[in-house]
Structure 1
């Protein structure tokens, strides 16, 4: 679970409803504060048990760099309601939601970024129709199912969701927290609890099952013609997908690869400014006025608020 530093949007962002052909979605819509036209628009998809607030600390630095960013709660996530039927959360359904969201933004082709589960949904959307997207950024999102330890955690959570209330599951999860998480302030803990209670259990069950069974679709993505410009970004440690696996995926895709120093599975909350700088640098390469060059496989590190340094 990503733990955003706050659930209060920065001044550059407004919470609103994005109305699409497939329903309404809660979003945080951030743009340059001085009212200038943005350089482009990006759609940000959160991970399993997460929400649009997982990107909240990235919104201001991205707006300062000139970008409009729209972070979304997918169906059944936090402030976007969803039905009780698990079939409504099959990956193709969620991918079609993303296509509808991109169209509803009214910004032409957009940059697409997904964290963890959101990255696999983003990949599925691009495989359905790559045309709406300028680039695809996979943030801490691997090529196939999650690591065995994470599969076991999802199995236990799914079992609990079938016999306990959402509040009961929350209390059980908190009892297993490491000591450092138990030191969170009351307000931060209550925000996380409130988010959890609004998640739809059917969404958690369906997407958790998908995370545990996701096939390797990297070759499908690489085979698109023309192939999308892809950025693989992660922390230097990750217990959901081994970093070496993310490295290999980037090579298979001919993707840009960024490692964020000091970050683990959630660079968006662990090191948001460094992560935002790396993401903005990639988008600049593929701006609407600059087609860039495909096959940029160089690995860079993002540290001390700057991105793009050679790793070696």
Structure 2
């Protein structure tokens, strides 16, 4: 689960809704007067655009227009359109549709958002015309670790008989340092998840194949940014994936699964130095 310490929205960050030919998506955006490029940030499992709030002002100050979204089935986006499908390939098509509205983008996918972003690139007929680059943030080459698979199997079992909101007491963070305001937000965000979106995402993370070889030939610049310590994917697997891809690799010690929250300045530096290059 993505982690959040604050939901305070800086004055430079605007809340918007983005219309595409695949539906309407809730987003945060920040931009300098004359941006040198655009970045699209895709959250992970049970995540949302709020996961990227610590990054948005700094990325804009570095010269980039940044857009962070709620994926289909998440928080304020909801179903996005009539008769929605939450299959990974359809979520990837959503990301591609957003790029069609925003122009060529530096694509950043966190955790399950990395899985979706990788699919978006692989499914693009001409990746270089749509994507300026791809960064995988705390995402590994294939299925999640065995301990994470076990937790996802337990969640899948629970989803068969229990409404999503009723599962919150079992998922509520135990860290006493999380404010009541953030806990209230996390509870509300969890309750708004589409059950089918959670189910399909969990199943995909359990079974995802290694697509490293296919991605290596995509023809766009690639980077991997990985916070440690990490339990969802082993760090050694992410580092090996980066080597096989010929991608820039940045380890962010102390960032854990959500370096965008715990070490945002290091993530901003990793992203902007890669984009600038």
User: Which range, TM-score by smaller chain?
Assistant: over 0.9
Deviation at 1:282, TM superposition (A): 0.6
Structure-2 residue corresponding to 1:112: 107
The residue number in structure 2 matching 1:195 is 189
Query: Are residues 1:184 and 2:174 paired?
Result: no
User: Corresponding residue for 2:120?
Assistant: 125
Q: Distance in 2 between matches of 1:84 and 1:157?
A: 26
Partners of 1:4 and 1:57 within 8 A in 2:
no
Structure 2 CA distance for aligned equivalents of residues 85 and 100 of structure 1: 16
Matches within 5 A, 1:87-166: 88-105=85-102, 108-129=103-124, 130=127, 131-166=129-164
Check the 8 A contact 2:23/2:81 in 1, yes or no: no
What is the TM-score when the length of structure 2 is the normalising length? 0.95
Determine helix, strand or coil for the equivalent of 1:25.
Answer: strand
Larger radius of gyration: 1
TM-score normalised according to structure 1 size? 0.84
Secondary structure class of the residue paired with 1:142: coil
Deviation at 1:78, TM superposition (A): 0.7
Distance 1:21 1:84 in 2: 9
Choose from 56, 61, 84 the match for 2:58.
61
Residue 234 of structure 2 is matched in structure 1 by 242
Q: 1:25, 1:87 → 2: CA distance?
A: 13
Work out the CA distance in 2 between the residues paired with 1:24 and 1:199: 16
**Per-residue deviation, 1:48:** 0.5
For the aligned residues, what is the CA RMSD?
1.7
CA distance in structure 2 between the partners assigned to 1:173 and 1:157 by the alignment: 10
Q: Counterparts of 1:62 and 1:49 in 2: how far apart (Å)?
A: 23
| Contact kept? 1:4, 1:56, Cα under 8 Å | no
What's the counterpart of residue 207 of structure 1? 201
The yes-or-no answer on 1:49 pairing with 2:43 is no
Once residues 274 and 132 of structure 2 are traced to their aligned partners in structure 1, the CA distance between those partners, rounded to angstroms, is 11
Q: Runs of 4+ in structure 1 displaced over 3 angstroms?
A: 83-87
How many angstroms does 1:86 deviate by? 11
Shift of 1:85: 11
Q: Where does residue 306 of structure 1 map in the other structure? A: none
The Cα offsets for residues 55-108 of structure 1, whole Å up to 9 and x where unpaired, read as 010001111111111001110011111289998111111111111001112xx3
Contact residue 9 and residue 28 of structure 1 kept, 8 A: no
Q: Deviations for 1:6-42, whole angstroms, at most 9, x for unmatched residues? A: 223211111110000000000001112xxx2111100
Q: Any conservation in 1 of the 2:229–2:253 contact (CA below 8 Å)?
A: no
Residue 26 of structure 2 corresponds to residue 29 of structure 1: no
Using the alignment, how far apart are the partners of 1:2 and 1:270 within structure 2?
11
> Residue 39 of structure 1 corresponds to which residue in structure 2?
36
Which position in structure 2 is the counterpart of 1:270? 262
Unaligned runs of 5+ in 2: none
- Please say if residues 7 and 56 of structure 1, whose CA atoms lie closer than 8 Å, have aligned partners that are also in contact: yes
User: Do the aligned partners of residues 83 and 152 (structure 1) sit closer, same or farther apart at CA in structure 2, a change above 3 Å counting?
Assistant: farther
